[in-house]
Amino acid sequence: MVADTVPAMLAYWDNQLICRYANESYLDWFGKIRDEMVNNISITDLFGDAYGPYEPHVSAALNGSPQELVLVMPAPGKKNKRYLQVSFFPDIEADVVKGFVMHAADITPVKELEKQIKKSNDTIKAQNKSLLNFANIVTHDLRGYTFNLEGLLELYEKEPNEQEKQLIFDNIKDLSALFKTTVKNLSDVVAIQNMGDIPVEEVNLFECVNKAVEVLGRQIKETGASVKINVSPFVYIDANPAYMDSIVYNFLSNAIKYRHPDRSPSVEFSTMVSGNETILSIKDNGKGIDLDKHRHQLFGMYKTFHGNSDATGIGLFITKYQVDSMGGHIGVESQVDKGTWFRVYLKTKTHAHGNVVRFI
């Protein structure tokens, strides 16, 4: 029969819920042969515990009302769930419902495509929002520098006193240095947003943390900071090495930069493997952040919270972007005057048990 050549599942059930016809696709789905199914099995026996979602639609079909629904369920004996679009068409003769035709199509590929399209649309929306935010920041910053530079140049040209002119010129140089820093920060943001697919490889977290400690050795010494490294040397993650170096550096640098004025900074790195995730924990005793006020701004571009003159508001923005681009995410807890605890969730490559604890 032609019905046996179509991929959709077709079956006819009479008003006593006995199968009177099933095409090859229907038989294959349930793992039955025709003699087992046709004229020998009821719909409740065939579906067993899975009959529940169908029951109201079967009842409606037997009352003469066509039905349609989408179900997510595994094929019998299989684990992978599939999306099925199921339709019930009543067979009515002389106002009597003799049974119904059941049509089921596997629409899993369509649903998976819908998910991909939605994910792509969400990504595009996020990128557009980021670009708009970036454009607003660039416009604001350049306007501010232009206004200040024009004002200083005007003062310089009008000032007759050479000593005063030198002071104005020094201000112009300071402004130029700040502008250079701003352009570098904006260039860093553009660079990470234009990279597209991020290359990943096996990265050792213990080595990343130790590298950051070595790079920031001078700041650690000058501030009297203590750094505890409670990180297993056997934990590897799938990550971009440059990103991981930057991420760990930024967290350690911020812990030192935003230290509490009444105590020496203390920072602890630790790791925990949970399922297929490695959690990198960074805990400090710094100024802390009022998350009730600033949680939604914490990773925003140019968002600062402590009034430090050297704060740029770029570090955490870039860090979050880097973690997100590698399929991870960041959790944070913080209390003002107590400190901050960041947790970075990343994909685990391989691991073994046992930590090496190092104190700096």
pLDDT profile of the chain (360 residues), mean per 10: 77 96 92 93 90 92 94 76 92 95 92 90 75 58 71 89 90 78 63 64 89 84 93 86 84 89 93 88 88 68 51 69 84 88 82 43
Distance, CA of 301 to CA of 313 (rounded, Å): 6
Residue after which a domain boundary falls, among 143, 160, 193: 193
**Same structural domain for residues 176 and 226?**
no
Across the chain, the runs of DSSP E, i.e. the strands, are 9-14, 19-22, 67-74, 81-93, 96-106, 201-204, 226-231, 236-239, 266-274, 277-284, 329-335, 339-350, 356-359
pTM: 0.49
| pLDDT reported for residue 334 | 87
**Same structural domain for residues 14 and 88?**
yes
- CATH no. for residue 268? 3.30.565.10
Residue 309 lies in a domain: yes
**Same structural domain for residues 249 and 352?**
yes
- For 333, phi and psi rounded to 5 degrees? -130, 145
**Same structural domain for residues 62 and 127?**
no
Residue 46 lies in a domain: yes
Model confidence pLDDT, tens digit, residues 314-357:
678 778 878 887 889 888 888 888 999 999 998 876 444 444 44
Phi-psi region of 107 (alpha: psi -120 to 50; beta: other; left: phi over 0): alpha
**Same structural domain for residues 146 and 220?**
no
List beta partners, residue 203.
Answer: 237
| pLDDT reported for residue 217 | 83
Distance, CA of 329 to CA of 321 (rounded, Å): 9
Residue 26 lies in a domain: yes
**Same structural domain for residues 213 and 324?**
yes
Q: If residue 134 lies in a helix (H) or strand (E), which one and from where to where? A: helix 108-158
Q: Which of 181, 213, 198 is nearest to 309 (CA)?
A: 181
Number of separate domains in the chain: 3
**Same structural domain for residues 176 and 258?**
no
- CATH no. for residue 90? 3.30.450.20
Query: 209-246 burial by CB neighbour count: b if 16+ within 10 A, else e?
Result: bbebbeebeeebeeeebebebbbbbbbbbbbbbebbbb
Range of the domain at 317: 201-359
* Angle formed at CA 6 by CA 5 and CA 8, multiple of 5 degrees: 140
Residue after which a domain boundary falls, among 174, 193, 212: 193
Residue after which a domain boundary falls, among 45, 80, 106: 106
Distance, CA of 177 to CA of 26 (rounded, Å): 73
**Same structural domain for residues 9 and 73?**
yes
Residue 92 lies in a domain: yes
**Same structural domain for residues 28 and 163?**
no
| pLDDT reported for residue 113 | 92
**Same structural domain for residues 31 and 127?**
no
Residue 111 lies in a domain: no
**Same structural domain for residues 227 and 348?**
yes
**Same structural domain for residues 324 and 225?**
yes
Residue 98 lies in a domain: yes
Residue 112 lies in a domain: no
Residue 114 lies in a domain: no
